[in-house]
Amino acid sequence: MTRARIRGLGFWLAIAATVAVLDQLTKWWLGLYLLPGQAIQVTPFFNLVHVFNRGAAFSFLADAGGWQRFFFIAITLGAIGLILWLMRKHADEPMFCLGLALILGGAVGNLYDRVAHGHVVDFLDFHAAGWHWPAFNVADSGITVGATLLVIDALFSTRRPATEPPGKAVR
């Protein structure tokens, strides 16, 4: 591995760490001002809430008997391992690695919640005409933006297939 690739990997890991730290700081700050279950209206379409999610996205498996905590921890650890491997392998592909870094930071932020508290803290509540989007947090935002970047990268990338010789890009 070249020195440039190692430096590049460190940059992506710093972005992931920033997302995870921002996620935890915002949850800590929220806990200073709101009790669990409490909400504050910020605008006519946005509230700050303090809710717990024992499930995954959109509260998937939130009502399961408690086993889902360890299931989601195991899934997250596997995803983190895969992301680190992909980031190392593709450290010189900026859009791809940025997407992975955002997902990694979000995964680590939510993993910390699951391990430390047994649930994920959500606090951003957008709503319109009585319909509320499921509450989410900074980690969820990192995962969503990261996944969007991966889709954009896949659609518009000019990566060479592994069998193509260098210098011959696929269009």
Average pLDDT over all residues of the chain: 85
In terms of Cβ atoms closer than 10 Å to its own Cβ (0-12, 13-18, 19+), residue 59 is: middle
37-52: b (≥16 Cβ within 10 Å) or e: eeeeeeeeeebbbbbe
Spatial distance between the Cα atoms of 76 and 114, rounded to a whole number of angstroms? 10
At 143, which helix (H) or strand (E)? helix 138-156
Q: Which of 113, 122, 125, 153 is catalytic?
A: 122
- What pLDDT sits at residue 91? 81
Query: Is 162 a member of any domain?
Result: no
At 127, which helix (H) or strand (E)? strand 120-128
- What pLDDT sits at residue 67? 66
What domain range includes position 46? 3-156
- What pLDDT sits at residue 36? 92
Q: Which of 23, 125, 140, 153 is catalytic?
A: 140
Query: Is 163 a member of any domain?
Result: no
Spatial distance between the Cα atoms of 161 and 140, rounded to a whole number of angstroms? 32
Query: Is 50 a member of any domain?
Result: yes
Query: Is 167 a member of any domain?
Result: no
The yes-or-no answer on residue 113 being catalytic is: no
Task: Dump pLDDT digits (tens) for 130-170.
Answer: 888 888 999 999 999 999 999 999 998 776 555 555 566 55
Task: Dump pLDDT digits (tens) for 39-88.
Answer: 999 999 999 999 888 666 655 555 556 666 688 789 999 999 999 999 99
Query: Is 165 a member of any domain?
Result: no
- What pLDDT sits at residue 118? 87
Query: Is 90 a member of any domain?
Result: yes
- What pLDDT sits at residue 66? 63
Q: How far is CA 62 from the centre of its chain?
A: 19
Query: Is 65 a member of any domain?
Result: yes
Task: Dump pLDDT digits (tens) for 118-141.
Answer: 889 999 999 998 888 888 999 999
Quote the number of domains for the chain. 1
- What pLDDT sits at residue 132? 84
Query: Is 145 a member of any domain?
Result: yes
pLDDT tier for residue 2 given thresholds of 50, 70 and 90: very low
The yes-or-no answer on residue 122 being catalytic is: yes
